[in-house]
Chains A and B, each alone.
Chain A
Amino acid sequence: MPESAPESSTADEAEQPGRPDKARPAGLGQGPGRLLVLLYGVFTVAAASRSIYQLVAQYHEAPLAYILSAVSAVVYAFITVSLVRGGEGARKAAFVCCAAELLGVLTIGTWTLADPSAFPDQTVWSDYGMGYLFIPIFLPVTGLIWLRKARQD
């Protein structure tokens, strides 16, 4: 908790303009990236805990849905770690994963609508992520835009 002396409280809010951008690697997890880290972290936990529980407790009900949830959890986890680590390699890897994630949401979303019988239970990506406020479909798009922008800086 920031319980510093009241007089000096404005000092740490001021930005340091002289700081060169090259000193920190890409800053993928800073600024707007910090929000992405949180959201990807939340979805990693959500997808992972959901798939672990379902794979352990009720695997036979809908194995395809549960395995897909596990795959999405791995993708989310990888992007979260890449964003936190930063650097050009991580940026490229995260970019590929975000594209894969978007492809996954679109594929699974269409698949669940076209052939609901293949999915007796929901996945994170069912119906384009409707059960998760459609965040699963906005997240990769935002991620791709952010990662593209980070290259130009």
Chain B
Amino acid sequence: MIDALTVALGVTALALASWCGFATYRDQPTKDWHFIGMAVVTLLGLVQLVIGIVQLARGQRPDESVAIFVAYLVGSGLAVPIAAFMSLAERTRWGSATVAAAAVVLAVLEVRLYDIWGGTGA
């Protein structure tokens, strides 16, 4: 369950990164549609955070330590919304670049989360 969500989040994060990277290339700031995309990714991140905590509460344990698992869950929940606010303040192509970078960071966090949880299809 959580593995499928991790993969889905990784893929959507990369999609968001290329979308905003394209906006950077075209010298455009983030538009409403980009913010809807960021909202979707953020929502997935929050769902992942809740499911992760529920799994822990049900007694399942990640391969690595619980503290690291929770830290990565929180980090992946925060990365895109923080970048979204930064791009609101930066109405240039660099606002788009910031969101693209945060989305790449999120994708990397998801790869790590997959390893931390164990990737055994729990």
Contact = CB atoms under 8 A, between A and B. Distances in A.
Interface of A: 1-3, 9, 12-13, 30-35, 37-39, 41-42, 45, 49, 53, 57, 133
12 contacts: A2-B35, A9-B32, A13-B29, A30-B90, A30-B94, A31-B92, A32-B97, A34-B98, A35-B94, A42-B105, A45-B75, A53-B71
Contacts, number: 51
Interface residues of B, number: 26
A2 B90 CA distance: 13
Chain A residues touching B, majority SS: helix
Contacts of B68: 53
A133 B90 CA distance: 26
Given A1-B35, A38-B86, A39-B101, A49 B94 contact: no
B88 interface: yes
Given A34-B94, A41-B82, A57-B65, 10 more contacts: A1-B32, A2-B88, A3-B32, A13-B91, A32-B97, A34-B95, A35-B94, A35-B97, A38-B102, A49-B71
Interface string B68-111: 10010001000100110010111110110110011001001000
